[in-house]
Amino acid sequence: MAYINVTIQIDVELKREAEKLFAKLGFSLNAAINLFLRHCVQIGRLPFEISQDPNVYQIASDSDVEKISQKLMEENKETYRELAHKDDKPH
């Protein structure tokens, strides 16, 4: 398979954050971009919705929903514990 170099411009902080994320997942930025491109070619589209209408909500992926749920659960852990034991208390 022949390869070609591609040059792109991205925000410095975005690149840093992306590299950290992909490193945690066991990928380099280069490998992650190649995976993204291969996936797009395989499914014949972008793997998310794009809209010019600011009133159209984008559909979240299962992993996005899971991340949001985990964050909310972590932030509200104590409240959930209190609610879980609310019925244990005498009225």
pLDDT, tens digit (0-9, with 9 covering 90-100), for 3-56: 899 999 999 999 999 999 999 999 999 999 999 999 999 999 888 877 776 665
| 21 domain-assigned | yes
| Predicted pLDDT of residue 90 | 58
| 61 domain-assigned | yes
Q: In total, how many domains does the chain have?
A: 1
| Predicted pLDDT of residue 71 | 81
The dihedral through the CA atoms of 71, 75, 79, 84 has a sign that is positive
DSSP codes joined into one string, 33-59? HHHHHHHHHHHTS-SS---S-TTSPPP
Contact of 60 with 68, CB cutoff 8 Å: yes
| 18 domain-assigned | yes
* Tokens encoding 71: 């964050």
| Domain span including residue 54 | 12-88
pTM here is 0.54
Distance of CA 33 to the CA centre of its chain: 14
Most confident listed range (8-17, 54-63, 67-76): 8-17
| 4 domain-assigned | no
| 62 domain-assigned | yes
| 3 domain-assigned | no
